Structure 1
Amino acid sequence: MPRKRRPRRLINRYAASRLYDVETRAYVTLDHLKDLRSAGYEVVVREVETGRFVTEDVLKPGLDA
Structure 2
Amino acid sequence: MTTDTPRWIKSSYSDNGGNCVEVAANLAAHGTVPVRDSKDPQGPALAFDTAAWSAFVAGVKAGNFDA
Report if TM-score (shorter chain) is over 0.5.
Answer: no
- Higher relative contact order (Cα pairs below 8 Å, separated by 6+ residues): 1
Return the TM-score normalized by structure 2: 0.31
TM-score by length of structure 1 reads 0.32
Higher strand share: 1
